Structure 1
Amino acid sequence: MIRTSLRQLEYFEALAETLHFGRAAALCGVTQPALSAQIAELEEVLGCRLFNRARRAVSLTEEGQILLPQATGILQSTRSFESSGRRPSTMQGRFRLGLIPTIAPYLLPPLLPVLRQSFPAFQLELREALTPHLTDALLAGEIDAFVAALPIEDRQMMATPLFDESFFLAVPASDPDFTAPPVPPDSPALERLMLLEEGHCLREQALAVCTQVKPVAMKRFGATSLTTLLQMVANGLGVTLIPEMAVASANTIAGLKIVPFAKPAPTRAIALFQRRNGLRRDECEKLAELIRETWGGETKQT
């Protein structure tokens, strides 16, 4: 009698995550025909189709959506069981890390080469998403940890502080309101502040910084990425808040100027979040140490 295998469940999980046979096969380290055959065999065992297959799109069927959480739970239990048996070895195997969009593009370029060189057996898988989505993914066992800004209140998670960074203000290079920085937090020019869309923690942080003025530009403009906001600023549509780690990249944008706030400058605290009862604590501590070292090295160079 043919039974469901863990390998088939891993392929099911990978295809559900990527919705692309080629990318799922690459994620699992197999050929696309091998993955397709195992998915087809799993569907035969279950007696239902898990995926809708179209020429240019793959999607979960209703049955697939129902069965996916069970498959994920089985795999998570298996991984936890295997991890318990090899606790002496750290920084090895698959590790799923999430990052928020205002951190990922700036932290990953210096961090990933260090990880590859120092821990070649550490198979890092990355997910970029907003804080609420990363929190849900962590608690569901879909990722092992994530990097985001404090505070996040949830008793099921624990936070390991990484570093604090200052905020700056991105303004049009020729703007006469910013010819004599630093910028006081009650500057009328902050009424032209543009914000990221709802759900981004940077939006709330910007509003917290500018408590003494009422931004009006945010009623007319919004963006889902900091890069888009900076392009809008460079073209004279307003000003926006920018974290310190994004300053080096922003300085390459024509028509943009980065100015400091008056002291004490506003800051944000970055942390690594993991499940309180998680089994990857050793890896999380080592990863946190590497992030601190990487960020420290970057700040000294910029």
Structure 2
Amino acid sequence: MVTLKQIQYALAVDKTRHFKNAALACHVSQSALSTAISELEKHLGVQLFERNNKQVLVTAFGREFLTKARQIQVQIDELEQLTAVNKSPLSAPMAIGVIPTIGPYLLPKVLPALREQYPEFKLKIVEEQSHVLVDMVRNGELDSAILALPYETSGLLTFQFWQEDFYWITHCDNVSTAKQHISSAELKFEKLMLLKDGHCLKDHALAACHLQGYHSDDEFDSASLYTLIQMVAGKLGTTLVPEMALSQLIYPQSELAALHLSEPGPHRSIAFITRANYVRVNDITLLQQLFKNELNSHAKSTQL
């Protein structure tokens, strides 16, 4: 019989691709984990992993087995979380993912209120790109994730709590101080610097400008909005940033101007995602409302 412990160990080996690290993650000795995996393979009559002193590889059957094993582990985790449903709100720990173009600008606005209202709530934050977070939510590694939409999340629930437009950022020397808006047609003649491929913010910005076929010079690709802003300050080009980030990226820089992108919006929406059968959906909706209230309050106070 395949045991839950064996499933847990096999998933740990798949994640770490290293028996010693998998044993550490499972809080057991390496010999105990290796024995359990060997017994599992003997019971199944087929090898899950190819291993030597240098690497661990997953066999073709192993990939199929691990896909089923992850589904089982998610269901077990949800069974264990059933007890949290009848407890007070946000009384159980939660792991939430967030993308890099949201986390630094959203979290400082909402976490103080969250800590004040739910001081015992234990929150783990994981920062990754959207495709990684979607997989982690589907696999049960995360309870939820905060993404910018539109993004492919088929089979998952979405709980939107914010909508925003983009702003074009340029050096003050390049624009009249009276100008407050700019169209995408005007941007086509500018040297537009964007994030590296793989960041959904780049896709959303290009879609808002109707420039899906636009490609920036590789030398200007960046993984950080902050880096792009510094390059704009150095008169190396222009960029687009979401409204949420303005107060942290732009206003302290007196030599920069932020012009609203006058294209139909909102240009992106911010939402929680989670599994359709996640048992603590009420906690997600509570966070959704709390985040919405705090962002609205912040927007009014800063006149964004």
Both structures adopt the same fold (TM-score exceeding 0.5): yes
* TM-fit CA distance, 1:210: 2.3
| Equivalence for 2:27 | 35
Matched, 1:112 2:111: yes
Instruction: Indicate the SS of the match to 2:292.
Output: helix
Identity %: 30
1:138 equivalent in structure 2 = 137
Q: How is 1:261-300 mapped onto 2 (pairs within 5 angstroms)?
A: 261=260, 263=262, 266-267=265-266, 268-300=268-300
- 1:286 is displaced (CA, Å) by 0.7
Q: Give TM-score, length-normalised by structure 2.
A: 0.75
> Per-residue CA shift, 1:67-97, capped at 9, x if unaligned?
8666644442222112234422231223221
Q: Residue type matched to 1:278 in 2?
A: Y
In the TM superposition, residue 33 of structure 1 has moved relative to its aligned partner by 11
**Kindly tell me: are residues 190 and 18 of structure 1, through their superposed partners in 2, closer, same or farther at Cα, counting changes over 3 Å?**
farther
Question: Is the 8 Å Cα contact of residues 163 and 270 (structure 2) preserved in structure 1?
Answer: yes
Flag the 1:35–1:291 CA change in 2: closer, same or farther, 3 A. same
Distance 1:16 1:116 in 2: 35
Give the C-alpha shift of residue 282 in structure 1. 0.8
Report the equivalent of 2:45.
none
**Aligned match for 2:75, one of 73, 77, 83:** 77
Contact 1:194 1:221 in 2 (8 A): yes
1:14 to 1:244, Cα distance in 2 relative to 1, 3 A: farther
1:149-168, CA deviations, whole angstroms, 9 ceiling, x for partnerless residues?
22234441122121112221
Name the CA shift for 1:150/1:217 in 2 (closer, same or farther; >3 Å).
closer
Q: Does the C-alpha gap of structure 1 residues 125 and 62 become closer, same or farther in structure 2, counting only changes over 3 Å?
A: same
Give the aligned partner of residue 250 of structure 2.
Answer: 251
The 5 Å alignment of 1:58-97 reads 62=58, 72-89=70-87, 90-97=89-96
CA offsets, 1:46-71, max 9 Å, x none?
Answer: 349x9x9x9xxx986658x8686666
SS where residue 78 of structure 1 aligns?
A: helix
RMSD, aligned α-carbons: 4.0
The 10-residue stretch of structure 1 (135-144 or 207-216) with the greater mean CA deviation from structure 2: 207-216
Deviations 1:229-259, CA, capped at 9 Å, x for gaps: 2122121111111111111111366475142
How far residue 301 of structure 1 moved from its aligned partner, in angstroms, is 2.9
Q: Give the unaligned 5+ runs of structure 2.
A: 42-48
AA aligned to 1:224 is A
Residue 284 of structure 1 deviates from its aligned partner by 0.9
1:157–1:274 CA contact under 8 A, matched in 2? yes
Q: What amino acid is aligned across from residue 257 of structure 1 in structure 2?
A: L
Tell me, yes or no, if the aligned pair for 1:146 and 1:273 is still in contact at 8 Å: yes
Q: 1 CA distance for matches of 2:16 and 2:35? A: 22
For residues 74 and 234 of structure 1, what CA distance do their matches in structure 2 show?
52
**Whole-angstrom distance in 2 between the partners of 1:277 and 1:300:** 36
Question: SS of the counterpart of 2:90?
Answer: coil
Contact in 1 for aligned 2:130/2:200 (Cα 8 Å): yes
Residue aligning to 1:127: 126
User: Is residue 149–residue 270 contact of structure 1 (8 Å, CA) maintained in 2?
Assistant: yes
Counterpart AA for 2:288: A
Give the total of aligned pairs: 289
- Does structure 1 conserve the Cα–Cα contact (< 8 Å) formed by 2:93 and 2:122? yes
Equivalent residue for 1:196?
195
Is structure 2 residue 179 aligned with structure 1 residue 181?
A: yes
